[in-house]
Structure 1
């Protein structure tokens, strides 16, 4: 009976395979349904135009310069505070957005009850107390000089567009369209980008610097732990270098080294080391960075949701220069990633370039830095095949960052996600320290990207980790002494 049942099961499996092959054979003779064909419309490539023009008279000046200009107009007389007959009805904290003069030099320039215009006595600027200076200044098209119009208010930036029909850029782009494209443009103008478009961002470089200075305090003080320094080095070696889970690390310490320690204590020690080396790694002075960098983003899970690791790596020395995790893959994340790389240079090298994928947020981030006077080139490698000369030329750099993603995923796989973004970034500091200072690279002659003098004659990995901890302690003491 058993043989009969097994024979029937084999027969049914063979019959299913034959029926599937016969079905596929019949599908070749069916007529194609045009409605079932999916036409994928290619994305428009994001291009960065010239930066907008801001009129010189709209730019802010110092109060001293404004007073000098006032004296020149009034035969050397000093500006005196306004002698008011009626009490002011605007806040005393109001200042001139152009020269910074206090409320004592600002008078009411309102012609009626509806208008809310004020005027500065020193520089003569008229402004509204209900608007910020960024709303007061005007941006102009660099091609035709026409005033730009705000068309979209996005999160973190505003999109401005030149709507002048006689703009030279608009005319040039319109001539490049074919007859069919011109018909499509009349039907669906949003499909084409013919006018000059720019983005004005809300954040400043100073805000980015403040973002990088946030250092979180650790719950565990490494000086007071019960385990010795060798055990601490073993924990970091197994967890970070070999990519083992917390429980496997605790199991190896107990069964191989006869050290009884819980997996939670392993996690606490790793967290404490991460908090200690965070300011040291962020401010480490790299002397061997090249002008060629590459970047990409990969995925991790935070509370079961996708988060994004933005990696930036030196294409020559293989040094990771940016590695933060964000919950959103947006322009502000790309801006912070680029800034983490830029701040590691004393001066941006000539011909500095970054190779990334086709995500438009990188081009938008490039435009942000252009508006702040920081210029570099972006090369986008799109797809798996070389469709253009840029992809063909810069494909090797893109492969470098993809190999970095693969190495990271090997270490991240056992983590099974993180509970918070801070926990995820703690792991990133440990992984980056290992990758930059401890991991041997075949392309570098089986040497780490950064060869420290302390490691010259040292092979033992736990000792190397303890040397890095000592360097982080020394940096922390130096910072405390600078007061």
Structure 2
């Protein structure tokens, strides 16, 4: 017995020695200098870091003709247009963003670098300012930002000042052994994203033309309820639903007819589901998951009430950009009749669309809320430790959705993805029994008291959706 213990101890010391040699080899031959950088372990992730808002200067409109008249009154002479001697012409489309002076009064102020100077009001502006009528300045050094890149929904502005305190601080935090040609991998300069698409003016609850009434020639509302029960509640595909109705109920209905029923039903139910008064708590959690549409990756954004478990915001999108995130957050925040600033705690993962959306809510709507980002899969910081249980609620929601999504093997169109998600959200919020609510639906409707079975409940949801559409149309007419 003693010889076995001695052997194990000796072997244990041998393993410790091997581990020490491997750690020494890794530290010597694998560059770990990037971990010194304060932003993130990955240089690619730093490019998406969100900076604070810049100083925004809006040009006050002044009539250049009034300024010319005032100049003539004060100095008793006419302010003449610029006489150019450097053979550099100014485009006819360039005008002063402040006074509206035409190109005859515009200097090319710094050669080919794109800055102009107005002779009438002495305003300097970049070549893109005469379109936006807004100037952005770095909040750290006060220098004007230059447009760096153009993206699909926003323009990226960059501070190019080499003496900016923000740039010098990040430059100092770089690894000491980094090669000069690798500095571009790290985010050093201050960046600001200017959105040229206003996501706050998009309508969220506009009735669609497909939300029409049902005109049954061969079938009836009960068969429609059966189709939705098998297709949504029992997670059967349209072909399996058609087979079940034929084998169990003796109803001969094609899978295309079932798909048509489901699509129209989703359009009818969606306004009721989206505008229902869920009376949410002040603790929200969000996450995004991917689906396939014609084999191409799409995304679903879910925002749920972490306390009451209801889904109060969702969007289906073909990109993982900030636009769908803002729309889903708008849908969730609309459920609050009285939105009080800094009372809502919004928990999400580390994806940068959420802080960027938060910035847009502050800038456009002056809506303030507390954003908590749970980073990674392990509790490596106090924030993740305290809020991991909240993040797990939406992760379980994703798994529940995926269990019904997998039977579809992906959607055939974006409309199909939207109607599938809409019907599933309606089922999850109003029909599905939840252990959280003692195996009752999350939102119990008094209209369901007269329903004897699940197909009848689907018919009631359709009636409530039609009433919601009529109310929306009558309010729009008024």
More divergent stretch after superposition (398-407 vs 136-145): 136-145
1:478 is matched with 471
Distance 1:408 1:358, change over 3 A: same
Aligned partner of 2:192 among 172, 185, 198: 198
2:386 is matched with 393
Contact preservation (8 Å) 1:118, 1:129: no
Distance 1:286 1:47, change over 3 A: farther
Structure 1: how far apart are the matches of 2:267 and 2:333? 23
SS in 2 for 1:155: coil
1:152 is matched with 149
More divergent stretch after superposition (156-165 vs 219-228): 219-228
More divergent stretch after superposition (222-231 vs 42-51): 42-51
Residue correspondence of structure 1 range 63-142 to structure 2 within 5 A = 108=102, 110-111=104-105, 135-142=132-139
Deviations 1:81-104 (A, max 9, x none): xxxxxxxx979xx999669xxxxx
Distance 1:129 1:174, change over 3 A: closer
Structure 2: how far apart are the matches of 1:229 and 1:95? 64
Aligned partner of 1:294 among 285, 297, 300: 285
1:253 is matched with 245
How far residue 454 of structure 1 moved from its aligned partner, in angstroms, is 1.4
Distance 1:130 1:216, change over 3 A: farther
Structure 1: how far apart are the matches of 2:190 and 2:468? 48
How far residue 479 of structure 1 moved from its aligned partner, in angstroms, is 2.6
Structure 1 spans left out of the alignment, 5+ residues? 1-27, 75-88, 100-105
Distance 1:195 1:95, change over 3 A: closer
Q: C-alpha root-mean-square deviation of aligned residues, in Å?
A: 3.9
Contact preservation (8 Å) 1:199, 1:367: no
2:55 is matched with 53
Distance 1:199 1:113, change over 3 A: closer
How far residue 214 of structure 1 moved from its aligned partner, in angstroms, is 5.4
SS in 2 for 1:323: strand
Contact preservation (8 Å) 1:108, 1:119: no
Structure 1: how far apart are the matches of 2:52 and 2:336? 25
Q: Does 1:233 align with 2:225?
A: yes
2:12 is matched with none
Q: Does 1:415 align with 2:408?
A: yes
SS in 1 for 2:104: coil
2:440 is matched with 447
1:343 is matched with 334
Deviations 1:373-400 (A, max 9, x none): 3333322222221111121111111111
Contact preservation (8 Å) 1:308, 1:329: yes
Structure 1: how far apart are the matches of 2:268 and 2:446? 21
Q: Does 1:464 align with 2:457?
A: yes
Structure 2: how far apart are the matches of 1:193 and 1:131? 24
TM value normalised by structure 1 = 0.74
Deviations 1:304-340 (A, max 9, x none): 1221111111111111122222122223332333233
Distance 1:108 1:251, change over 3 A: closer
Distance 1:262 1:297, change over 3 A: same
How far residue 426 of structure 1 moved from its aligned partner, in angstroms, is 0.9
Structure 2: how far apart are the matches of 1:311 and 1:220? 27
TM value normalised by structure 2 = 0.74
How far residue 472 of structure 1 moved from its aligned partner, in angstroms, is 0.9
How far residue 185 of structure 1 moved from its aligned partner, in angstroms, is 8.0
How far residue 404 of structure 1 moved from its aligned partner, in angstroms, is 0.7
1:370 is matched with 362
How far residue 136 of structure 1 moved from its aligned partner, in angstroms, is 3.8
Contact preservation (8 Å) 2:105, 2:119: no
Contact preservation (8 Å) 2:129, 2:135: no
Distance 1:400 1:133, change over 3 A: farther
Structure 1: how far apart are the matches of 2:319 and 2:231? 28
2:175 is matched with 181
Structure 2 spans left out of the alignment, 5+ residues? 1-17, 35-40, 71-90, 110-114
How far residue 206 of structure 1 moved from its aligned partner, in angstroms, is 4.2
Contact preservation (8 Å) 1:185, 1:191: no
Residue correspondence of structure 1 range 36-51 to structure 2 within 5 A = 42-43=41-42, 44=45, 46-51=48-53
1:163 is matched with 160
Distance 1:221 1:117, change over 3 A: same
Distance 1:134 1:476, change over 3 A: same
